[in-house]
Chain A
Amino acid sequence: MIRVENGSDFSLEALSVIASGRLDPALVLLIEAAAEMRGLSLQAGEAAAGVALERETPALMGEGALEQVLARIGAPAAKNDTKRPSDADSELISIPAALRARIVEAEEQGGWKTGGGLTSLDLALGGECKAEIMRIPAGAGVPKHTHGGQELTLCLSGGFSDGIGAYGPGDVSITDPSITHRPVADSDGPCYVLAVTDAGLKFTGLLGVMQKLVGR
Chain B
Amino acid sequence: MPDKRPETPPAGEMLSAEQRERFSDLLEAVARHQDRSAYGEIFGYYAPRVKSYLMRLGSDDAAAEEIAQDVMVTVWRKASLFDRSQASVSTWIFRIARNRRIDVFRRTKKPPLDPEEPLVLPAAAPAPEAGVEALDLEAQVRGAMSGLPEEQLQMIQLAFYEGLTHREISEQLDLPLGTVKSRIDWRFKE
Interface residues of A, Cβ cutoff 8 Å to B: 9-17, 19-25, 28, 38-41, 43-62, 65-66, 68-70, 72-73, 75-77, 79, 81, 83, 97, 101, 104-105, 125-127, 204-209, 212-213, 215
CA distance A197 to B49 in the complex (A): 34
Known contacts: A54-B13, A212-B119. The answer to whether A44 contacts B137 by CB under 8 A is yes
| Docked-complex contact A56 and B125, CB < 8 angstroms | no
CA distance A127 to B69 in the complex (A): 20
Known contacts: A12-B125, A69-B72. The answer to whether A58 contacts B165 by CB under 8 A is no
A-B contact pairs, 22 of them (CB 8 A): A13-B119, A13-B120, A16-B160, A20-B98, A43-B87, A43-B138, A46-B95, A49-B98, A51-B142, A53-B46, A53-B50, A55-B153, A59-B48, A65-B65, A65-B69, A66-B43, A69-B43, A72-B73, A105-B81, A209-B113, A209-B117, A215-B124
CA distance A19 to B145 in the complex (A): 17
| Docked-complex contact A12 and B11, CB < 8 angstroms | no
Pick the contact of A48: B83, B93, B141, B181 (CB < 8 A). Answer: B141
Nearest residue, chain A, Cβ from B126: A12
Interface centre among A28, A43, A97, A215 (most CB of B within 10 A): A43
Q: Residue B116 at the A interface, CB < 8 A? A: yes
Pick the contact of B113: A16, A22, A28, A76 (CB < 8 A). Answer: A22
Query: Is chain B's binding surface mostly helix, strand, loop or mixed?
Result: helix
Q: Which of B94-117 contact A (CB under 8 A)?
A: 94-95, 97-99, 101-103, 110, 112-117
| Docked-complex contact B52 and A59, CB < 8 angstroms | yes
Interface string of B168-190 (1 = CB under 8 A from A): 00000000000001001110100
Interface residues of B, Cβ cutoff 8 Å to A: 11-15, 31, 34, 36, 39-40, 43-44, 46-53, 55-56, 61, 64-65, 68-69, 72-73, 76-77, 79-81, 83, 86-88, 90-95, 97-99, 101-103, 110, 112-121, 124-128, 130, 134, 137-138, 140-142, 145, 153, 156-157, 159-166, 181, 184-186, 188
| Docked-complex contact B101 and A57, CB < 8 angstroms | no
| Docked-complex contact A40 and B73, CB < 8 angstroms | no
List the B side residues contacting A204 at CB < 8 Å.
112, 115
| Docked-complex contact B94 and A213, CB < 8 angstroms | no
Known contacts: A22-B113, A54-B14, A54-B49. The answer to whether A13 contacts B121 by CB under 8 A is yes
| Docked-complex contact B113 and A23, CB < 8 angstroms | yes
Known contacts: A48-B141, A48-B156, A54-B14. The answer to whether A43 contacts B119 by CB under 8 A is no
| Docked-complex contact B159 and A57, CB < 8 angstroms | no
List the B side residues contacting A206 at CB < 8 Å.
115
Nearest residue, chain A, Cβ from B50: A53
Known contacts: A22-B163, A66-B43, A76-B76. The answer to whether A55 contacts B12 by CB under 8 A is yes
Nearest-Cβ distance from residue B149 to partner chain A, whole angstroms: 14
Known contacts: A44-B141, A50-B94, A56-B49. The answer to whether A61 contacts B115 by CB under 8 A is no
List the A side residues contacting B157 at CB < 8 Å.
48, 52, 55
| Docked-complex contact A68 and B103, CB < 8 angstroms | no
| Docked-complex contact B53 and A56, CB < 8 angstroms | yes
CA distance A39 to B65 in the complex (A): 38
Nearest-Cβ distance from residue B105 to partner chain A, whole angstroms: 10
| Docked-complex contact A20 and B121, CB < 8 angstroms | no
CA distance A57 to B130 in the complex (A): 36
Pick the contact of A16: B40, B142, B159 (CB < 8 A). Answer: B159
List the A side residues contacting B73 at CB < 8 Å.
69, 72-73
| Docked-complex contact B137 and A47, CB < 8 angstroms | yes
List the A side residues contacting B72 at CB < 8 Å.
69
